[in-house]
A and B are shown apart, each in its own frame.
Chain A
Amino acid sequence: MGLERKIQLGAYALFIVALFLVPEFSDEFWLNRASKYLVYGMLGVSIALTWGYAGVLSLGQGLFFGIGAYMLAMSLKLASPTSLAQGSDRPIPDFMLWNAEPDAPVELCCITPGSYLWLPFESVSFGMLMGVLLPAVVAGILGTIVFKKRISGVFISIITLALVLLVRLVVIDLQPLTNGFNGLTDLAFLTIAGFEFDPYSRSTYYLCAASLALVLIAARLLADTRASLILQAIRDDQQRARHLGFNVPMYQTFFFVVSAAIAGYAGMLFVVASEFASPTFMDLSFSVAMVVWAAVGGRSSLLGACIGAIAINWIEAEVSETAALVEAWKAIIGLIFVLVVLFLPRGLGGVAHDLAARLARRQSRKAAAAGTAGAEVKRHA
């Protein structure tokens, strides 16, 4: 194993260990915030997979995040005590009563048009499953169409951007089904096998940390496969890859689906930590922000993009809460972004990668020098 590779694995190990040490140094309020940052870190990984490895810049990653969030939030909404206190023996979300026709039956099957879609979400496992599955299916359908038609570059960005805005509009418009603009609030805590994840407790933080570690390791392993090598080749030259016999749309779609599933998973965790789901998850600014995090951290580095996402959000919180900088924090964040793009086009991950490569070169030179020196000594002896 080369030194460069050792440094890379060491960085992953260090980061994951650090993740689990954070609770030793912070209070519960801060831990809740940190959990959300870890969720953003996961989004950074999902962007790096599509943008860095596949060369596909999705400006609609918020769509998959939003779908994941809503799927779990629907289940947690039905599990919340208020939904059980609406005068029927089975849970009904409170907003459905506010939005129902006066003579509508107080049953989840038919209280508002389409409310029957909520029925399977009485099972939290179903909500959790759909939180990953539905983003993956949507990405699969979208990817198959887009990549088969050989749409690439800026056009994919435009299509994904349009799609996330479209879905956002639909979610807002379907008030009786989604509570529209207000989103889903007053959610139950996530409970798995009797264990309750209180968002202001260590357990939720550990859930997010373990999930991020899992996603990072899985994505790292995936990035080391031959399939990922072929994907990077496709990014460089699709035509060449096709004429080597690779089914190009299949590779692009596969990685797009994996990235969407990660974003959906992140959306679910965000709901657990923040106790709401809202159409703002599908705002354009949020999807663009994810791309910025990945650009700062380094789009072709999974760990870099992850750290970039966490760091920017942390800095953003610190700066926006410092009295002297309250007016200027957006300008500061903007400045950081501009500076990174101008001077570190490959982001922080790129810098780290170059440093590791330089170190490895120096090491091998030293080894070579020692080798010749040794030979000299032998010759003289």
Chain B
Amino acid sequence: MPSALRVENVTAQFGAFKAVDSVSLSVSDGELRVLLGANGAGKTTLMDLISGRIPCAEGDVQVYGRTITNWQEHRIASAGVGRKFQIPSVFRNLSVRKNIEVARCHSQSVFKNLRFRLPAADRRRVDDVLELTGLQDSAEQLAAHLSHGETQWLELGMLVAQDPKVVLLDEPTAGMTQGETSKTAEIIKRLRGDHSIVVIEHDMGFVREIAEVITVMHLGKVIAEGPVEQIEKDPEVRAAYLGSTGIL
């Protein structure tokens, strides 16, 4: 079975500067991978490359053996790559339920969506997602009225409804309280198994709770990869990212 997500020697170039410099990464089916790195390491840029927001100057991106390098974003999304943004991005003037319904409309074409309602099975799925994210009581509210944490959960819920094979999560717990963070961890654990997930995260407590394998980036390059314990001991990682004394 091919890797769920395979990134080979991809480079993001802005003028002479390489924000991502020949990075390779392979995430197997059902795996949860954490991307670690200081600010400016190129983590978000790597997600931008995978999801098509910025073009790959070099290299190759594959989803289950299918090359999607430099496709348009909506085609990459249809090929099974879902993405959550660092700054939560939802449809603010639609109700919470409608946000999830939109994510559940599968076809990319306008003509196939000239129908009135989602099929019953999809409507039930929308209810499930509302329950999973704990948003069932605010389902008819505008998304604009949600708190920061709830907005993050809504965006996660939209990903669950979209049901992509590969999920890219950019700092899903940014700005959350302790309680909110552990609920987010719950949601992400529910995603696990059926989906292959790449998470950018800084909260080490959260990382220890969810991570299997960690990839550490520094200045656009991958400098280490391995299980949590091994990464914590790696002298190069400590020097580059954690400072010589370490914060772990």
Contacts and interface: CB of A to CB of B under 8 A. Distances in A.
B118 A226 contact: yes
Contacts of B101: 226, 229
Contacts of B114: 222, 225-227
A330 interface: no
A230 B91 CA distance: 10
B77 A232 contact: no
B116 A246 contact: no
A230 B111 CA distance: 12
A5 to B, nearest CB: 13
Interface residues of B, number: 36
Contacts of B230: none
Given A224-B116, A233-B102, A244 B162 contact: yes
B79 to A, nearest CB: 9
B172 interface: no
A229 B102 contact: yes
A303 to B, nearest CB: 19
Q: How many residues of A sit at the interface, in one of the four size bands?
A: 20 to 34
B109 A242 contact: no
B187 interface: no
A78 to B, nearest CB: 37
A287 B55 CA distance: 39
A243 B90 CA distance: 11
Given A224-B116, A243-B51, A245-B77, A229 B98 contact: yes
A239 interface: yes
A248 B113 CA distance: 13
A245 B78 contact: yes
Interface in A226-262: 226-227, 229-230, 232-233, 235-237, 239-248, 250-251, 254
Contacts of A226: 101, 105, 113-118
Interface string B60-92: 000000000000111101100011010001111
Contacts of A230: 102, 105, 110, 113
A102 B41 CA distance: 78
Interface string B198-233: 000000000000000000000000000000000000
A226 B82 CA distance: 20
Given A225-B113, A225-B114, A230-B105, A244 B94 contact: no
Given A226-B113, A229-B102, A250-B109, A242 B77 contact: yes
B244 interface: no
B39 interface: no
Given A224-B116, A233-B102, A244 B158 contact: yes
A136 B75 CA distance: 27
B96 to A, nearest CB: 13
Interface of A: 222, 224-227, 229-230, 232-233, 235-237, 239-248, 250-251, 254
Given A226-B113, A226-B114, A244-B82, 14 more contacts: A222-B114, A225-B114, A227-B110, A229-B98, A230-B113, A232-B94, A237-B90, A237-B91, A239-B85, A243-B83, A244-B103, A246-B77, A247-B108, A250-B109
